[in-house]
Amino acid sequence: MDYTLKEMMTIIAAREIRNDDIVFCGTGISMLAAMAAKNINAPESVIFFETGALDSRLEELPLAVGDSRVMYKTSANGGLLDSFAAMQNPVTGRHVIGILGAAQIDKFGNLNSTVIGDYHSPEIRFSGSGGGCDVASFVPRSIIFMQHEKRKFVNRLDYLTSPGYIDGKGGRKKAGLPDGGPIMVITNLAVMRFDETTKEMYLSGVYPGITPERVLMNMEIEVDISRVKEEIPPSEKELRLLREKCDHQRLIL
């Protein structure tokens, strides 16, 4: 069965979500990944938006985390205070998995979603942290979606918006952050994970037809490719549920 790159990326993220996860979603593909997990492999996982919506019944795909579609048949309709407190909370927060995106990422999984260039005279200004920095600060696991381009996988971020492992092993603790950090980076070419000892990014999977060399060509940073495997494409069942249950209006796929 044919599948698109977006479908592949969505399904790879979805497979990472477990039945006892509370999934923090942004818009777009991250929301789709959360919906896919719920409809495919983790039916008891809970979708959760920074705007305060918990456990939304997503009959249609929201186009923003503030979309009224996230408010329908929730377990509770709160506000920003509620959602971020639940992530910082020592009991509930430890169950949250974040799904994030960014304009730049470094080898320790730190993210920039604020500016390219100098902060005071930016070449390109982006939206800014939103809840991204909060999620990255608080939660034990996060998944990052990126476009695989040289200028996005950089040695030095122009601005560190959302902390990953900061400067490597022990970096979060030194900064005062709780345990946590990104578990994987999913791009249009490959999947990167982080070494347990060094907390440095390594190439863990490529999509069928993509060589590790091609991945490296699209990164400024150098990453270990010795552990790479081919990623398993979405199954027929995964694709069917994704298409029918998650984005039947085709707003993202």
Shortest Cβ 122–another protein spacing (Å): 6
Nearer to another protein, 93 or 205 (CB): 93
Shortest Cβ 233–another protein spacing (Å): 27
Nearer to another protein, 31 or 228 (CB): 31
Shortest Cβ 89–another protein spacing (Å): 4
Helix (H) or strand (E) holding 77: strand 76-77
Provide the residue type at 80 as one letter: L
Shortest Cβ 228–another protein spacing (Å): 29
**Both tokens assigned to 69:** 């579609």
Shortest Cβ 119–another protein spacing (Å): 5
Nearer to another protein, 19 or 211 (CB): 19
Alpha-carbon gap, residue 108 to 102, rounded angstroms: 14
Nearer to another protein, 78 or 212 (CB): 78
Nearer to another protein, 139 or 191 (CB): 139
Provide the residue type at 204 as one letter: S
N-terminal to C-terminal alpha carbon distance within the chain: 16
Nearer to another protein, 5 or 76 (CB): 76
Of the residues 7, 50, 231, 238, only one is catalytic, namely 50
CB atoms within 10 A of CB 84: 19
| CA angle in degrees (0–180, nearest 5) for 81-144-1 | 120
> Closest by alpha carbon to 98, among 132, 128, 69?
132
**123: annotated active-site residue:** no
**Both tokens assigned to 158:** 């122009």
Shortest Cβ 234–another protein spacing (Å): 23
DSSP-derived 3-state class of residue 203: strand
78 DSSP 8-state letter = -
Alpha-carbon gap, residue 171 to 209, rounded angstroms: 36
| CA angle in degrees (0–180, nearest 5) for 242-247-250 | 120
Contact present, 32 and 61 (Cβ < 8 Å): yes
Give the active site residues: 50
